[in-house]
Amino acid sequence: MKIDVEKIDEKIRMLEAIKQIASNPDMAALLEGVIVDRAPAPGRTPPKSTKSGKQQFVRGALKEAVLEAIRKQAKPFSAYELTDGMLADGVYQFTASNPPIAVNDVLRSLVRKKQEVRLYQKGKGGTPHTYAYVKPQISADGATGKGSGD
């Protein structure tokens, strides 16, 4: 194993510069004033573009986009069909290298949790599973429950 001593020296120099800035209260206050907080804003936000044009991952954004697309479905659909519709609508920019697989993973998770979708027909061989939208049940007290899938 070869160790790059020059890189280590450079990191040490950078850390020493940070130490010098942190030890001076005026410099530390100035630095705090220009640092951009990268913490996510509260609430859900859509994926944001970076300078390179790539999309940033936002936890839960794909699930919300899939649920939105499912609610528009009038007939049973496959993950491929749902993905094609999402791409055509342009409401979600995929960060996954294979969007249909990402959508299928979300659909499988929703089926397991019985959230607004059920397995309509299990696929065989090269035929994909098909899913169906299940409208949430509204109880007498107005609370929304999970769909039964029946």
Q: Residue 128: inside a domain, yes or no?
A: yes
Per-residue tens of pLDDT for the chain, all 150 residues = 788 888 899 999 988 988 887 788 777 777 676 665 554 444 444 444 444 555 566 678 888 888 888 888 889 989 899 989 888 888 788 887 888 888 989 899 888 888 888 888 888 888 888 898 888 776 666 555 555 444
14/72 same-domain check = no
Is pTM beyond 0.75 here? no
Domain that holds residue 99: 61-145
Do the Cβ atoms of 107 and 66 come closer than 8 Å? yes
Assign residue 133 the CATH number of its domain. 1.10.10.10
Rounded to whole angstroms, how far apart are CA atoms 125 and 145? 35
Q: Is the CB of residue 148 less than 8 Å from the CB of residue 137?
A: yes
**Claim to verify: residue 71 and residue 114 sit in the same structural domain:** yes
Same domain, 66 and 140: yes
